[in-house]
């Protein structure tokens, strides 16, 4: 078990509290294993009717995977990986699958930063998932900023966002707030931070079997407080620019638009890994036709290829190790990315019968 994951059962509800505040609850392998163990233990326990996932800190539910660990483990062998690194992604994606298909209400309190791996533990499936955002929510899939791609099921939930909004989020890595999360279909309810104590009291006092409806009833009159969605206002612009058939065409289209929103998106993309933007674009195209398990299996393939290539190691170095914010992307320019380079990422590292997520 992990010292950073606290679990308990009260009034028919299982509580998972992430408690690694200095790292914004970035997920370690021990944390993934602790969450998985609790959810498996409660899945068939009649004394547990619902699950609540929350943080000990208002700063973040979860900022993602532990990227310092990625950097250290990724340098452990010449092939850019180690057994612990392999285990981390296999077990994290299996946890994402478990959460998506959890048979009991799974309520995620998405206050503060919810990015990358944090999205993976918050995006419960449509039948039982309950996702609550606040005015403090900072949501993103920023993986292209570190030379990775939107994983933890991102190829599934981003590819199903309205219009081309998933491509916008995946390629820019930009952050959105509560109103946009609701518009994207990546959140269900808005509760202002001032009401979180009352919500907590409600959760503690409501039997697990009635928790989902009680939360919905509590949050329903509060939804207007989320405000208006900027993505809704910019939907036509996003669909027009991000509807092109390549990353190069998208960026060329954005360059021809003087609107501040378009300029912001272009500036973000100019800082990202050219190769991983192209991989992300192809991933989201494929993900739209795949179910959750196949999306996670595809992402698991890509993780192996990404660490073999080394782009993510350079991205993490620049962002959190040396902190020079000057990644040396390989290749450095979008014009240098070839179709063969992108195709290499989609070549399965394992035969189907040996895939680490074959049992999903």
The DSSP secondary structure of 32-72, one letter per residue, reads HHHHHHHHHHHHT-TT--EEEEEESSSSEEE--B-HHHHHH
Closest CA to 147 of 277, 286, 326, 301: 277
Q: Which of 64, 65, 116, 153 is catalytic?
A: 65
Helix (H, G, I), strand (E, B) or coil at 320: helix
Which bin fits 294, alpha (ψ -120 to 50), beta or left (φ > 0)?
alpha
Helix (H, G, I), strand (E, B) or coil at 154: helix
Whole-number Å distance between alpha carbons of 360 and 356: 9
Q: Which of 66, 92, 111, 143 is catalytic?
A: 143
Helix (H, G, I), strand (E, B) or coil at 130: strand
* Total residue count of the chain as it appears in this document: 360
Q: Tell me, rounded to whole angstroms, the distance of Cα 280 from its chain centroid.
A: 14
Would residue 210 show up in a list of annotated catalytic residues for this protein? no
Would residue 117 show up in a list of annotated catalytic residues for this protein? yes
Would residue 143 show up in a list of annotated catalytic residues for this protein? yes
Distances (CA, A) of 51 to 15, 318, 328: 6, 38, 43
Closest CA to 56 of 137, 111, 10: 111
Q: Which of 151, 188, 282, 314 is catalytic?
A: 151
Pairing of the two strands 60-62 and 13-18: unpaired
Whole-number Å distance between alpha carbons of 181 and 175: 10
Q: Which residue has the tokens 């590819």?
A: 159
Cβ-in-10-Å burial (0-12, 13-18, 19+) of 39 comes to buried
Contacts of 221 (CB under 8 A, 6+ apart): none
Would residue 151 show up in a list of annotated catalytic residues for this protein? yes
Q: Which of 117, 166, 287, 315 is catalytic?
A: 117
| Residues forming the active site | 65, 117, 143, 151
């Amino acid at each position: 078990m992990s010292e950073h994951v606290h679990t308990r059962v009260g009034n028919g509800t299982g509580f998972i509290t992430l408690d690694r505040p200095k790292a914004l609850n970035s997920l370690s392998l021990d944390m993934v294993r602790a969450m998985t163990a609790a959810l498996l233990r409660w899945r068939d326990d009649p004394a547990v009717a619902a699950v609540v996932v929350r943080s000990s800190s208002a700063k973040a539910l979860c900022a993602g995977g532990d990227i310092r660990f990625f950097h250290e483990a990724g340098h452990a062998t010449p092939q850019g990986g180690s057994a612990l690194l392999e285990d981390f992604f296999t077990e994290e994606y299996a946890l994402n699958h478990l959460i998506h298909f959890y048979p009991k209400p799974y309520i995620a309190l998405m206050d503060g930063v919810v990015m990358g791996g944090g999205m993976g533990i918050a995006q419960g499936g449509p039948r039982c998932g309950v996702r609550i955002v606040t005015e403090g929510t900072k949501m993103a899939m920023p993986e292209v900023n570190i030379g990775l791609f939107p994983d933890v099921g991102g190829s599934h939930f981003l590819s199903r966002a309205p219009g081309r909004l998933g491509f916008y989020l995946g390629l820019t890595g930009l952050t959105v707030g509560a109103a946009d999360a609701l518009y994207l279909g990546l959140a269900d309810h808005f509760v202002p931070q001032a009401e979180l104590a009352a919500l907590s009291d409600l959760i503690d006092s409501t039997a697990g079997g009635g928790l989902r409806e009680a939360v919905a009833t509590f949050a329903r009159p509060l939804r207007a407080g989320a405000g208006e969605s900027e993505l809704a206002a910019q939907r036509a612009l996003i669909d027009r620019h991000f509807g092109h058939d390549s990353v190069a065409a998208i960026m060329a289209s954005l360059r021809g638009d003087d609107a501040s929103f378009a300029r912001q998106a272009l500036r973000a993309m100019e800082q990202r890994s050219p190769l991983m933007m192209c991989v992300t674009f192809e991933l989201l195209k494929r993900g739209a036709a795949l179910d959750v398990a196949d999306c996670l299996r595809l992402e698991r393939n890509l993780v192996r290829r990404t660490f073999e290539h080394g782009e993510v190691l350079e991205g993490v170095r620049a962002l959190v190790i040396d902190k020079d914010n000057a990644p040396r992307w390989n290749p450095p320019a979008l014009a240098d990315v070839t179709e063969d380079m992108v195709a290499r990422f989609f070549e399965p590292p394992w035969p189907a019968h040996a895939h680490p997520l074959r049992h999903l």
